[in-house]
Amino acid sequence: MLLNPIKKSNKIFALLLAVVLVVSSLSVSCFAVTDAEKAEYEKKIEELQKQIEENKKKIEETKKKASVYDDDVSALQDKIGALQEQIDLYNEAIAVIDADIAVIDNQIKGVENEIDSLNKQIDELDKQVVDIQQKIADTYTLLGERIRASYMSGASSSLEYLLTSDEFEFQSYLERVELIERIAEHDDTLIKDLEKEIDSLKAKVLEIEDMKTRLAGKIKELDEVKKEHEAKKKEQEDARQVILDAEAEIQKDLDKVMAVIDEFDKESKAYQAAIDKAEDAIMEYENKLAEQNTSFGSGQVSGDMIWPLPYSDTYVSSSFKMRTLNGVTKQHNGIDICRWAGTHGATIVAVKDGTVEVAYKSGNNGGYGLYVVINHGNGVKTYYAHLSATLVNVGDYVTQGTTIGRAGNTGYSFGAHLHFGLMINGGWVNPMNYLTRPAGLQIVA
């Protein structure tokens, strides 16, 4: 059966209204704290505070145990430092020897280059000698051929030629004989000159060989000097290695001691983690106790809220937003305010009239350190955390602009600042939507 659209919408509206009423009643019941619950919360807070004190004592005991090893660590570090100084000296000495060896190597290389140059000269001279020897051989061959040709074409003897030839033929014969003698003399002179040139070249070769011998001797001397330097270097390296081995043994001892200290440090961190957890729990219980005094009214903020740091050079270092600290991302439930001129000790004032509900003057207090909570009525509360000094007491009625403390760096904080939070009906809201901002305010993050 189809429902009438109007009746259907009325039923849906009635259902939504019922859900709203249930949620509203649940919300109110969640914030309500009975006297029995109050007593239970106060008892738990007391127990947690005792746990915190016990863990603080354990941390101090652990630090004392670790401090016993401080002298051992210092002594071992001093020994390592002294040995390192000796190692540095050996390193410097070895570096000097290496530099000397490098110079010697360059000298040897230079001499070897000279020898290579001389070998090239000898090769060139040997080539010239071979060429001249070939010229001499060619000259001897040519001379022999000339004499043989002359012999084969001539008469059996000069006497026979004189008896059988006429005057013209005899004159030609004499000229030919004279020519052959001149050629023979020329060839003989040429051969002698070539032989002299060969002797000169061989002398040069011997001279160069002598130079090579002297250079080879120089290389031998340099090699001996290099060996001496290398021996010195090995002595230095061996001595250095002895110290390096000693240093390694001491380092092992130091590592063992540091491992023990690290264990103590882990214990301290575990105790500190337990303290932080207990402080967070205390904060939750204190918030629940504070909620007992909360008036769930309209949640409206009547009148303007003034800036909590009454200075003209303030800036917001961290806004009301999701942020990541130590790898954990969560909502930053307020804003962090600083001064450019320096925040520590700066005056903190009440942003609006109200009654002081919380006024911690010592302790970490869930990471807030010293902090103040003011109840302004209508379910509106303001939080002022990480103070260096709290100047009001629980129950004090303060007016807008009253000094309530000094900015600081207490609790879980990374530098002096004011953490300002605004809670309306038990929920955190962005304070920037309610505060009167000073002129020129900068929001850094």
What's the angle, vertex CA 356, arms to CA 352 and CA 359, rounded to 5? 125
Could you tell me where the beta strands, DSSP code E, fall in 228-359? Answer: 314-318, 322-325, 328-331, 335-339, 347-349, 354-359
Q: Assign 38 a pLDDT band (cuts: 50, 70, 90).
A: confident
> What distance in Å separates the CA atoms of residue 418 and residue 426, rounded to the nearest whole number?
21
pLDDT at 386 over 70: yes
What's the mean pLDDT in 246-250?
A: 90
Highest mean pLDDT among 231-235, 278-282, 406-410, 426-430: 406-410
Q: How many helices (H) and strands (E) does the chain have?
A: 5, 13
Handedness of CA 265, 269, 275, 278 (dihedral sign): negative
Phi-psi region of 425 (alpha: psi -120 to 50; beta: other; left: phi over 0): left
Q: What percent of the chain has pLDDT over 90?
A: 27
The residue that leads in pLDDT, 168 or 13, is 168
What's the mean pLDDT in 83-101?
A: 90
pLDDT at 270 over 50: yes
The residue that leads in pLDDT, 252 or 20, is 252
Highest mean pLDDT among 215-219, 233-237, 335-339: 335-339
Q: Assign 435 a pLDDT band (cuts: 50, 70, 90).
A: very high
- CB-based contact 154:146 (threshold 8 Å): no
Which structural domains are found in the chain, ordered by start?
72-259 (1.10.287), 296-445 (2.70.70.10)
The residue that leads in pLDDT, 27 or 403, is 403
Average pLDDT for the chain: 79
Residue type, 440: G
pLDDT of residue 344: 95
- CB-based contact 69:201 (threshold 8 Å): no
What lies within 8 Å, CB to CB, of 179 at 6+ separation is none
Among 13-22, 144-153, 255-264, 362-371, whose mean pLDDT is lowest?
A: 13-22
pLDDT of residue 356: 95
Distance, first Cα to last Cα, the chain: 59
What's the mean pLDDT in 383-399?
A: 95
pLDDT at 249 over 50: yes
Among 75-79, 83-87, 158-162, 171-175, whose mean pLDDT is lowest?
A: 158-162
Question: Is 363 strand, coil or helix?
Answer: coil
| 246 CB-contact burial (10 Å; exposed 0-12 / middle 13-18 / buried 19+) | middle
What lies within 8 Å, CB to CB, of 135 at 6+ separation is 194
- Candidates 394, 384, 396, 393; CA nearest to 423 is 384
pLDDT at 421 over 90: yes
What's the mean pLDDT in 50-69?
A: 87
To the nearest 10 degrees (0 to 180), the angle between helices 35-67 and 167-291 is: 140
Q: Which residues pair with 160 in a beta bridge?
A: none
pLDDT of residue 225: 85
pLDDT of residue 11: 38
The whole model's pTM is what? 0.43
> What distance in Å separates the CA atoms of residue 419 and residue 309, rounded to the nearest whole number?
11
pLDDT of residue 14: 40
Backbone φ and ψ of 409, nearest 5°:
-140, 30
pLDDT at 213 over 80: yes
Handedness of CA 126, 129, 134, 140 (dihedral sign): negative
pLDDT at 166 over 60: no
What's the mean pLDDT in 33-60?
A: 81
The residue that leads in pLDDT, 293 or 401, is 401
pLDDT of residue 153: 54
Q: Assign 175 a pLDDT band (cuts: 50, 70, 90).
A: low
